[in-house]
Amino acid sequence: MKQVFFRTDLAIEMQQWMTERDGQAPDGVKVRTKVGEFVQATEVSILTTQAEEAMGRKRGRYVTLEAPLLRQNHTECLEETGALLEEVLQDFLALERRETVLVVGLGNRFVTADALGPKVVEGIFVTRHLKDALPPELQGAVRPMAAIAPGVMGITGIETGETIRGVVEKIRPSRILVVDALAARKFSRVNATIQISDTGICPGSGVGNRRMELSRRTLGVPVIAIGVPTVVDAATLVWDALHLAGVKEGEGKEAAEEVLLPYAADLFVTPKEMDAALQRLSSTIAAAVNAAVHPKFRRQDQGRYFY
């Protein structure tokens, strides 16, 4: 059986690779696709322990929105993506009355390709601190929402998971939304894909290979993860180049790996236009989160409240 020689944080890439390798979908994995005008939504459900192991990720639902035009300033595509994302988030959050939502933006605000989480946090319409200070016309219009960007360990000296657990124990949210920049296998998915899952975040995922698991198991409440691949792993790129060229073991593959991989572990591949993409993606996600959580917030109001 062929070994996996690439890294991806996207369930859909793993599922497609396995299906291609085996000639059939993995057992215990259900796939549903919905094709829109500019966006294709695919739900990969991992249903069994066996599928969990084969896919290398947790049982649960992974919805992927794929929209190649997201890379550009394509108005209708952004609108369709935002609307779909709002819908998926409402479904995953399943909020009833006044549950408090905590948004956690992972990543390093000083590295463009890793700044998605902190940037989304800047656009969140926080209301938890207002409580009864809210003007009457906003009572019922908003739910309590809080947002933190805990930073990365190299800057704080603190394992991010510790900070988050500390805050969660204090404010006791009913749902946690974790936003993170991810690594894809394929260039074509970078900045053109949004993955939403109900399984939280696993160690080793994210641009910075986060070390903590953030999930219902570790935090005690449902954790929904929103991720966008902003990079390809440099090692994955090397493996893919060799693979596509038909290079096999014993044919120089080792030579190439020996030279390139020691460095590749500390590198990632990212688009030159990352700054513009970051703005577009973080704004679209923040607007969808605000609209999914606050009953009367409309996504088109995002531009009025923020930026």
CB contact at 8 A, 301 and 221? no
Spatial distance between the Cα atoms of 98 and 205, rounded to a whole number of angstroms: 32
Q: Which of 181, 287, 289, 291 touches its own copies by CB under 8 A? A: 287
Q: Give the binding range for its own copies (CB under 8 A) out of 14-22, 24-32, 34-42, 108-116.
A: 108-116
Shortest distance, CB of residue 127 to its own copies, whole angstroms? Answer: 6
Burial readout 74-108 (b: 16 or more C-beta within 10 A, e: otherwise): beebbebbbebbbebbeebbebeeebbbbbbbbbb
CB contact at 8 A, 7 and 233? yes
Q: Give the binding range for its own copies (CB under 8 A) out of 23-31, 87-95, 217-225, 232-240.
A: 232-240
Q: Which is nearer to its own copies, 48 or 300 (CB)?
A: 300
Q: Give the binding range for its own copies (CB under 8 A) out of 37-45, 174-182, 194-202, 278-286.
A: 278-286
Q: Give the binding range for its own copies (CB under 8 A) out of 18-26, 44-52, 174-182, 245-253.
A: 245-253
Burial class (CB in 10 A: 0-12, 13-18, 19+), 46: buried
Q: Give the binding range for its own copies (CB under 8 A) out of 11-19, 25-33, 87-95, 276-284.
A: 276-284
Burial readout 255-274 (b: 16 or more C-beta within 10 A, e: otherwise): ebbeebeeebeeebbbbeeb
Shortest distance, CB of residue 56 to its own copies, whole angstroms? Answer: 22
The answer to the question of residue 266 lying near its own copies (CB under 8 A) is yes
- One symbol per residue from 144 to 163: x for binding its own copies (CB under 8 A), - otherwise; what is it? xxxxxxxx-xxxxxxx--xx
Shortest distance, CB of residue 49 to its own copies, whole angstroms? Answer: 32
Shortest distance, CB of residue 231 to its own copies, whole angstroms? Answer: 9
The answer to the question of residue 126 lying near its own copies (CB under 8 A) is yes
Spatial distance between the Cα atoms of 213 and 205, rounded to a whole number of angstroms: 9
CB contact at 8 A, 218 and 161? yes
Binders of its own copies in range 39-78 (CB under 8 A)? 73, 75, 78
Considering Cα of 126, then 132, then 136, then 140, what sign does the dihedral take? positive
Binders of its own copies in range 211-230 (CB under 8 A)? none
Q: Which of 166, 203, 204, 295 touches its own copies by CB under 8 A? A: 166
